[in-house]
Amino acid sequence: MLNWLPENISTYGAEIDSLFYVIYYITLVTFILVAAAMVIFLIKYRHREGHQAKYTHGHTGLEITWTAITTIVMLGFGLMSAPLWSKIKQDVPPYDIQVQVTGKQFNWEVLYPGPDETFGTEDDVQLENMVHVPVNKVVRVILTSKDVIHSFFVPVLRLKQDMLPGRKIDAWFEATKPGRYEIPCAELCGFGHSGMLGYLIVHTDEDYQAWVNETWPEHVSEMKAELDQGSES
Amino acid sequence: MAEVTATEDKHEVHTHAEQGFVSTYIFSTDHKMIAKQFLFLGLLMMILGGGLALMMRWQLGYPEQPLPLIGVSQEFLETDEPKTAMDKMWQEWDEEGSENWLVETMPYGVMTAAFYNMLFTMHATIMIFFVIMPILVGCFGNFLIPLMLGARDMAFPKLNMYSFWVGAVSAIVMLAGFFVAGGHAATGWTAYAPLSSDPTWTGVDWGQNLWCISIIILAISSMMGAINYITTVINMRAPGMTLMRMPLVIWSLFIVAILLLLALPVLTSALALLLLDRMAGTSFFSPAGGGEPLLWQHLFWFFGHPEVYVLIVPAMGMTSDILSVFSRKPVFGYHAMVYAMVSIAFLGWVVWGHHMFMSGMNPALGMAFMLSTMVIAVPSAIKTFNWLGTLWGGAIRFTTPMLNALAFVAMFVIGGLSGIHMAITPVDIFIHDTYYIVAHIHYVVFGGSIFGMFAGLYFWFPKMFGRVLNESLGKIHFWLTFLFFNCTFIPMHILGVGGHMRRIYNPMQYEFLQSLQPINVFITVSAFCLGAAQLVIIFNFCWSLYRGKKAERNPWQANTLEWGAESPPPHGNWGDTIPTVYRRPYEYSSPEVTEDWLPQDRLLEPATASAGSE
């Protein structure tokens, strides 16, 4: 079943996948054991003439054993996965670039802080549905929404985070392979939820610089022109 | 207490003969009639809920193609020449500029995205609130609690009647929502705010309002039922029926009633806040007015998780009983089974956050909820092992109820194990809101609750209606359902692992999902077969109701009290004297007697009577 997983291109994605493998195999073995026990019992203890069922109300030792083993395994699972969870969701590492993505029915608004690296200034660069990032760089993504709850889902990055109106939530990733990948919305957000789709473009370093040079100044000058017009009229 | 009710109820038995049609069949206060009313309500709604699911599956298997039967033909789409009657109908409507319900929801038989959102919302709403709850809790709770405890009726028979009829009003309000302008609720059964709290985000106005109102009314109905169940279990047990001699199904229903009593007020108040947001301009859940969207999720799941146990725990109880009867063996670890259900009910209050790992809730809380969720897996595992222990060393009879109960155990194991994946927070990052979740919930609620419900229906049908469901048809129905259930829901795990989001209208809109489309087609075909297989039980049910073999008192040779009553039991259940209980409910193959069952109310010679009792 596991080769159905989409390609992974993020630094922490491989760890998620291997945790998935470990749990998958442990639960699979558990299922096979339980199912096998069940099938064996059903065959061995099927009703036959002259055969009587064992009269027993249980076995305290057995019951304590399986309760203890299950408790240890379950808590072990929990403790095993705790570090990865805090790595992905709690401890955002120092970032190289940052971008703000705002969900709105039914698009992603992508905002770059521009050359001054500060949001809310006039050199901010806004795009629709396209997130451009350099490869092998830590990207901080600030997620928010304008209307309802959306969920920023990048399958290849193993990244998912709901976006809430009125809150800014930090997420991060580091992509390891250039390419063009899909960013669907994963939380029902209205009749256009299906098909609410953006793209993550992972560039090599040179390509990213080229993209910045090509996109940012032009956009900034346009904005400046608009502002000048606005002050004239 | 029991003696007082006994004398009072004798009086009731005598007046019963004078009751007319209306008070016997419609506004009845007899717990058995009310149970049947809940059963019929649930079964009718199940046909509707299943139909909605099949329409959904059509759209996912064959996205944006005309529906069979009511859609236009392929030739018409290609040539614009009307061929079938449906082609002509749609063409006429188009020419007239007609604005009927069909034109708005599925022009030319192709459903719109908004209609699709309504489908999955209402499929879940109906299956959870109007099928599983009425049948597992309403029907089996009402039928079994007095009969298995040796009471003549519920503690509050009138309240019981109101409970059903208030529930029926709620169902009518819910159904009315399909016909209002703007369509029915379309925000998922979880109705996440602010999507659900402001009509402008969905275009759905009265649909969502009626949805809220209907569930508030249903909650009132369930509250009445819960109070009744709790009171009956505490006060109306026959002499000798100690708590630890109660059948596990009664324990499960008792626990569920307590869960409902505590959880429903949270839901009702949350729905009231939602209605105020929608209709009175408040902003409890809207950040624009200072509200908090996550508040809805916390309130909803604080109700919602105990609700999940409301759906599964009665099926666990029924399965325990049925496994014991047909293994001809006492339940393995009765006390552990009781304590496991009690701890599930307690822990069920501290795991709601596991639905919200990706919601933006503080990630540190995610860690806490992961651990509590891991802990709640332990009592579920205990129950599974005890079920296996019950089979071990038995003399197993493969009747239809037994097959369904065995399927319950197997499917519940799959649902439980897949639950571990999503409880592990880092793994949940990827599979949250995908078809993995859809597969999981259906293994628990269909593979679990519905197989449990079928098991209970085949098992207690003789007691309810005095006739036996046909065993051959029952087995055909079981094997078809079991096969197509797995064909439908196992592949959904694969879709989830592939990243297929839930609640999307057209998977073909995404490049990364296009290679998975053959799986969607396979699921759709299997789902239609699964739906068709249910025709067998519908026929079996209707046919056996009138033509089935007459049931004796105790067709399964079972121990619990209800099998000592006539089939079906008369008004007041027990003739002149109510039964006295001498032992625990699962004394099968006891060395004390030559036959392999020993009813709870059979008095043995004093020398041996103490063995097997508490």
Q: Say whether both A64 and A169 belong to one domain.
A: no
pLDDT at B169 over 90: yes
Nearest CA of chain A to the CA of B233: how many Å?
24
Q: Per the CB < 8 Å rule, is A153 touching B417?
A: no
Domains in chain A: how many in total? Answer: 2
Backbone dihedral angles phi then psi of residue B255, each to the nearest 5 degrees? -65, -40
Interchain CB contact of B499 with A (< 8 Å): yes
Name the residue with tokens 């725990």.
B313
Q: Name residues 405-444 of chain B within 8 A of A (Cβ).
A: 406, 409-410, 413-414, 417-418, 420-421, 423-427, 429-430, 432-434
pLDDT score of B112: 93
Query: What torsion, rounded to 10 degrees, do the Cα atoms B146, B148, B152, B155 define?
Result: -30
ipTM over 0.85 threshold: yes
pLDDT score of A223: 55
What chain A residue is nearest to B584 in terms of C-alpha separation?
Answer: A57
End of a domain among A50, A71, A90? Answer: A90
Q: Average per-residue pLDDT in chain B?
A: 92
Mean pLDDT value of segment B359-375: 92
Mean pLDDT value of segment B490-499: 96
Nearest CA of chain A to the CA of B378: how many Å?
6
Q: Per the CB < 8 Å rule, is A85 touching B359?
A: no
Q: Per the CB < 8 Å rule, is B363 touching A85?
A: yes
What chain B residue is nearest to A145 in terms of C-alpha separation?
Answer: B287
- Phi/psi zone of residue B109: left (φ > 0), alpha (ψ -120 to 50 degrees), beta? left
Question: Which CATH number covers residue A83?
Answer: 1.10.287.90
Q: Per the CB < 8 Å rule, is B332 touching A38?
A: no
DSSP H helices, B236-292, are 248-279
Q: Say whether both A134 and A186 belong to one domain.
A: yes
Across the interface, of B201, B370, B413, the residue whose CB is closest to A105 is B201
pLDDT tens-place string over residues B542-569: 999 999 999 999 999 999 999 999 999 9
Q: Name residues 270-299 of chain B within 8 A of A (Cβ).
A: 286-288, 292-294
pLDDT score of A114: 86
Q: Say whether both A84 and A158 belong to one domain.
A: no
Which residues in chain B touch residue A82, judged by CB atoms under 8 angstroms apart?
367, 370
pLDDT score of A220: 53
pLDDT score of B201: 92
Q: Per the CB < 8 Å rule, is B421 touching A20?
A: yes
Across the interface, of A27, A48, A191, the residue whose CB is closest to B202 is A191
Tell me the count of A-B CB pairs closer than 8 A: 283
Q: Say whether both A6 and A51 belong to one domain.
A: yes
pLDDT score of A116: 82
Across the interface, of B432, B498, B509, the residue whose CB is closest to A6 is B498
Q: Say whether both A72 and A122 belong to one domain.
A: no
The span from the CA of B342 to the CA of B348, in Å, is: 10
pLDDT at B48 over 60: yes
pLDDT tens-place string over residues B324-350: 999 999 999 999 999 999 999 999 999
Question: Which CATH number covers residue A184?
Answer: 2.60.40.420
Q: Say whether both A37 and A110 belong to one domain.
A: no
End of a domain among A68, A90, A112? Answer: A90
pLDDT tens-place string over residues B396-435: 999 999 999 999 999 999 999 999 999 999 999 999 999 9
What chain B residue is nearest to A48 in terms of C-alpha separation?
Answer: B395
- Phi/psi zone of residue A56: left (φ > 0), alpha (ψ -120 to 50 degrees), beta? beta
Nearest CA of chain B to the CA of A141: how many Å?
14
pLDDT score of A214: 86
Across the interface, of B328, B334, B498, the residue whose CB is closest to A57 is B334
Domains of chain B and any CATH numbers: 39-65+110-550 (1.20.210.10), 66-109 (no CATH)
pLDDT score of A221: 54
The span from the CA of B142 to the CA of B569, in Å, is: 13
Q: Say whether both A123 and A164 belong to one domain.
A: yes
pLDDT greater at residue A123 or residue B273? B273
Which residues in chain B touch residue A88, judged by CB atoms under 8 angstroms apart?
426, 429
DSSP H helices, B106-205, are 113-125, 140-149, 157-176
Interchain CB contact of B503 with A (< 8 Å): yes
What chain A residue is nearest to B191 in terms of C-alpha separation?
Answer: A188
Q: Per the CB < 8 Å rule, is B427 touching A19?
A: yes
End of a domain among A55, A90, A125? Answer: A90
pLDDT score of A230: 53
Which pair of structure tokens corresponds to residue B108?
Answer: 């030319």
Q: Say whether both A108 and A27 belong to one domain.
A: no
Nearest CA of chain A to the CA of B116: how many Å?
8
- Please state at what angle helix B248-279 crosses helix B140-149, rounded to 10 degrees: 150
pLDDT greater at residue A112 or residue A123? A112
Nearest CA of chain B to the CA of A230: how many Å?
29
> What is the domain extent for residue A172?
97-232
Which residues in chain A touch residue B406, judged by CB atoms under 8 angstroms apart?
38, 42
- Decide: helix, strand or coil at residue A133: strand
Cα–chain center distance at A36 = 36
Question: B85 CB contacts (<8 Å, ≥6 apart)?
Answer: none
pLDDT at B3 over 50: no
pLDDT score of B13: 47
Q: Say whether both A102 and A85 belong to one domain.
A: no
Q: Say whether both A73 and A112 belong to one domain.
A: no
pLDDT tens-place string over residues A156-206: 999 999 999 999 999 999 999 999 999 999 999 999 999 999 999 999 999
**CA torsion sign, A56 to A62 to A68 to A74?**
negative
Q: Per the CB < 8 Å rule, is B334 touching A58?
A: yes
pLDDT at A4 over 50: yes
What chain B residue is nearest to A29 in terms of C-alpha separation?
Answer: B417
With bands split at pLDDT 50, 70 and 90, how would you rate the model's confidence at B161? very high
Q: Is the pTM of this model over 0.90?
A: yes
With bands split at pLDDT 50, 70 and 90, how would you rate the model's confidence at B11? very low
Strand blocks (E) in B382-475: 467-468
pLDDT score of B26: 87
Across the interface, of A62, A75, A162, the residue whose CB is closest to B360 is A162
Across the interface, of B391, B506, B509, the residue whose CB is closest to A38 is B391
Which residues in chain B touch residue A149, judged by CB atoms under 8 angstroms apart?
192, 194-195, 293, 359
Which residues in chain B touch residue A147, judged by CB atoms under 8 angstroms apart?
194, 201
Q: Say whether both A121 and A74 belong to one domain.
A: no
- Decide: helix, strand or coil at residue B359: coil
Mean pLDDT value of segment B143-171: 96
The DSSP secondary structure of B40-73, one letter per residue, reads HHHHHHHHHHHHHHHHHHHHHHSTT-PPTTTSPP
pLDDT tens-place string over residues A56-114: 999 999 999 999 999 999 999 888 899 999 999 988 899 999 999 999 999 999 999 98
Q: Per the CB < 8 Å rule, is B429 touching A158?
A: yes
Which pair of structure tokens corresponds to residue B450?
Answer: 């519905």
pLDDT score of B150: 95
pLDDT score of A222: 57
Q: Say whether both A195 and A101 belong to one domain.
A: yes
Best of B119, B361, B378, B387 to disrupt the A interface by mutation (most A CBs within 10 Å)?
B378
